[in-house]
Amino acid sequence: MNLMKRTCLPLLFLLLPILAKGNIALNDSTASIVITAKEHKNKTLLFHIYPTFTPSVTLDSDGSGKVTIPVKEPRFLDFGLQDSVFYTLLLEPGYDLHIHIDKGISTAEGRGAAANNYLLQVKPLIDSLASATNERSSRNKEIHEFLDVMQSFERRFNDFHEAYISRIHLSAPVDYLLKHAMKSRQLCMKQRFINRLDRRINDSLQLESKLGVVSHGLFRDTLLIHTGYNTFRDFLIFHGSYTIQDSIFLRYPEKNVYADSVFYAILNSRKYSPDIREYLAYWILIDHVYNFGSNSAIERLYETFYTCYPASPYSDHLKRHFQKHSPLARGNAAPDFQGSMLSGWAFSLKDYKGKVILIDVWATWCGPCKKELPYTYQLQQTFHSNKELSVIYLSIDSDKNNWKSYLHKNQWLAGIHINTRDPGFLEAYKITAIPRYILIGKDGNLIDAFCDNPSAGTLEKQVRAALCPATTADCEEKK
């Protein structure tokens, strides 16, 4: 999830999958999952166990595939097709599951089926709540209307839970995990609703109290953190950071000052258990590098984290995360990539060396991207007479017809338009969310691989400085 940076669609599942090892013997440190989904035969299923393990399996011509996953303690995982519905499962060592998916109906068999049928059966109920409380549905809702929706759902969920555990035996730890995981999901939806309201901080706190968010025991629940339940992470980030972020971001829009302020605000909070403070501090670092790359300011926070938590279980992942993004540091060579231009000609970044290059990474399905396009175009027009600048609109649409149709309907957006689905580009530039803006110098080296949105106003200053590093006056003459 993304804390404050703009994002349309997380692309993490696209970038990280690796083939699972199929020859691991099932034992007390692994779990086996066989998926049968005939409607998705020959397609690839992606799995994600936060934060590090992301196997994939390609279904055969019968729609079946098997994956064996290392697991030493209870862990939640998500799986599904890219850009499609994702399912949540609970794994324990020794589980041997067979999941059947047929026309939207999902069932589990084998060892571990009881817990996972719970998750598969509660999914439609959760999805109905998500639909009733999404941004469009709750846009014009009054507080009492939203409360009615939530209270009705909570009654239905409690009835489902009690009816399920009365029929199926679940161990006390599994019962606890399932019930509290779903509770965190409800609280996350409440928090999203609160965050959409344009209110002062004290009004938001009153609303949080009314919705039962402020003093909930989950703020100190370490167990859900260690099981990797993503929605609990989302809830903690929404609640634990957004109130702090909203006030800090207004005062300190500079991204380095902002990250620093949020990081220390979390570390000094006494609302959360020590484990959750550690987790939130870790996630702020992860999120910042995803959105802004590595820089000296975030590296100082990185060192502070290690000083505070020298034996942190997140250390290895955090270290790998920083190392993975280090090639995108300022001054490093911009990775080359290929694509196709609107005219059909082949595109290569190296053909533009010697110019300042601004790349706007977008897609026709990305609402925030399209809102920013006029600002990118305005910046392009500001420097239209300067032949040393190339503004490249890079679409990652998988359907080129949609891309071409959008540009045909919006002919005002004249410029260099290319399309690429090259996974090498997505991986090299760590495109995990869009829109993304990348600025490259005349020497072919990166200036900023994580520029602010053009609407923020800072990007124009960066472009101006790149075109003429000497003085602003000289640049004005060249413009």
Same domain (yes/no): 214, 263: no
Read off the pLDDT of each residue in 435-448 and give the average, rounded to a whole number: 93
What does the pLDDT read at residue 442? Answer: 92
pLDDT tens by residue, 155-179: 888 899 889 988 988 888 888 888 8
**Residue ending a domain, choose from 217, 252, 287:** 252
Q: Domain for residue 424, yes or no?
A: yes
Q: Domain for residue 398, yes or no?
A: yes
pLDDT-based confidence at residue 237 (cuts at 50, 70, 90): low
Same domain (yes/no): 265, 140: no
Q: Domain for residue 383, yes or no?
A: yes
Count of structural domains, the chain:
3
Same domain (yes/no): 102, 236: yes
Q: Domain for residue 60, yes or no?
A: yes
Q: Domain for residue 420, yes or no?
A: yes
Same domain (yes/no): 269, 238: no
**Residue ending a domain, choose from 272, 298, 328:** 328
* 194, pLDDT greater than 90: no
Same domain (yes/no): 280, 343: no
pLDDT-based confidence at residue 214 (cuts at 50, 70, 90): low
Q: Domain for residue 333, yes or no?
A: no
What does the pLDDT read at residue 371? Answer: 92
pLDDT-based confidence at residue 285 (cuts at 50, 70, 90): confident
Least confident of 94-103, 141-150, 302-311: 141-150
pLDDT tens by residue, 345-373: 888 888 888 999 999 999 998 888 999 99
Q: Domain for residue 4, yes or no?
A: no
* Of the candidates 144, 165, 174, the residue with the CA atom closest to the CA atom of residue 76: 174
Same domain (yes/no): 314, 354: no
Same domain (yes/no): 221, 261: no
**Residue ending a domain, choose from 284, 305, 328:** 328
Q: Domain for residue 2, yes or no?
A: no
Same domain (yes/no): 165, 247: yes
pLDDT tens by residue, 255-274: 445 566 777 777 877 777 88
pLDDT-based confidence at residue 344 (cuts at 50, 70, 90): confident
pLDDT-based confidence at residue 8 (cuts at 50, 70, 90): very low
What does the pLDDT read at residue 195? Answer: 62
Same domain (yes/no): 215, 201: yes
What does the pLDDT read at residue 16? Answer: 31
Q: Assign residue 411 the CATH number of its domain.
A: 3.40.30.10
* 217, pLDDT greater than 70: no
- Which residue would you say has higher pLDDT here, 333 or 187? 333
- Count Cβ atoms below 10 Å from residue 398 Cβ, excluding itself: 13
Q: Whole-model pTM above 0.75? A: no
Same domain (yes/no): 282, 238: no
pLDDT-based confidence at residue 294 (cuts at 50, 70, 90): confident
- Which residue would you say has higher pLDDT here, 22 or 200? 200
Same domain (yes/no): 229, 285: no
Same domain (yes/no): 363, 410: yes
* Of the candidates 453, 462, 417, the residue with the CA atom closest to the CA atom of residue 435: 453
Describe the strand order of the beta sheet including 64-70 as a list of residue ranges: 64-70, 30-36, 96-102, 105-111
Q: Which domain holds residue 276?
A: 253-328
